Structure 1
Amino acid sequence: MLAPFGEDIWVADGPVTSVAGFHYPTRMVVIRLEGGALFLWSPTRISDELRAEVEALGQVRYLIAPNSLHHLFLAEWRGAYPAARLYAAPGLRQRRKDLAFDRDLGDAPPAEWAEEIDQVLMRGNLITTEVVFFHRKSGTAIFTDLIQHFDRAWFTGWRALVARLDLMTAGEPQVPRKFRNAFVGRRHARAALQRILAWPTRRVLMAHAPPVETDGQAFIARTFRWLSG
Structure 2
Amino acid sequence: MSETRLAPLGPDIWLADGPTVAVLGFCYPTRMAVIRLGSGGLMIWSPVALDPDLRAELLALGPVAHIVAPNALHHLSVLQWHQAFPQAQLHAAPGLPAKRRDIPFDRTLGEAPDPAWAGDVDQVLIRGNLITTEAVFFHRASGTVLFTDLLQGFPPDWFSGWRRAVVRLDGMVGAEPAVPRKFRLAFQDRKIARAGVARVLDWPAQRLVMAHGPVVTEDVAGLLARAFRWLGV
User: How many angstroms apart in 2 are the aligned matches of 1:85 and 1:70?
Assistant: 16
Give the C-alpha shift of residue 35 in structure 1: 2.6
Aligned: 1:91 with 2:95? yes
CA distance in 2, matches of 1:35, 1:99: 26
2:28 corresponds to: 24
Which residue of structure 2 lines up, in the alignment, with residue 48 of structure 1? 52
TM-score w.r.t. structure 1 length? 0.98
> Which residue, out of 67, 70, 76, partners 1:66?
70
Q: Runs of 4+ in structure 1 displaced over 2 angstroms?
A: none
Cα distance in 2 for residues equivalent to 1:17 and 1:2: 19
How many residue pairs align between the two structures?
229
Query: Which of 140, 155, 158 is the equivalent residue of 1:154?
Result: 158
Task: Return the alpha-carbon distance in structure 2 between the equivalents of residues 166 and 28 of structure 1.
Answer: 24
> Is 1:35 matched with 2:22?
no
Equivalent-residue separation in structure 2 for 1:40 and 1:80 (angstroms): 13
Alignment of 1:192-211 (within 5 A): 192-211=196-215
Q: Provide the alpha-carbon RMSD of the alignment.
A: 0.8
Residue type at the aligned position of 2:9: F
Distance 2:218 2:160 in 1: 31
Hey, what does 2:18 align to over in structure 1? 14
| Aligned amino acid, residue 131 of structure 2 | I
Q: Percent identity, please.
A: 57
Alignment equivalent of 1:221, drawn from 219, 222, 225: 225
Counterpart code for 1:30: V
Distance (Å, rounded) in 1 between the aligned partners of 2:39 and 2:26 = 40
Q: Following the alignment from structure 1 to structure 2, what is the Cα–Cα distance between the partners of residues 164 and 228?
A: 23
Structure 1 unaligned regions, length at least 5: none
1:140 counterpart = 2:154: no
Look up the equivalent residue of 2:95 and give its one-letter code.
G
Which runs of 5 or more residues in structure 2 are unaligned? none
**What TM-score comes out, normalization by structure 2 length?**
0.97
- State the AA in 1 paired with 2:13: I
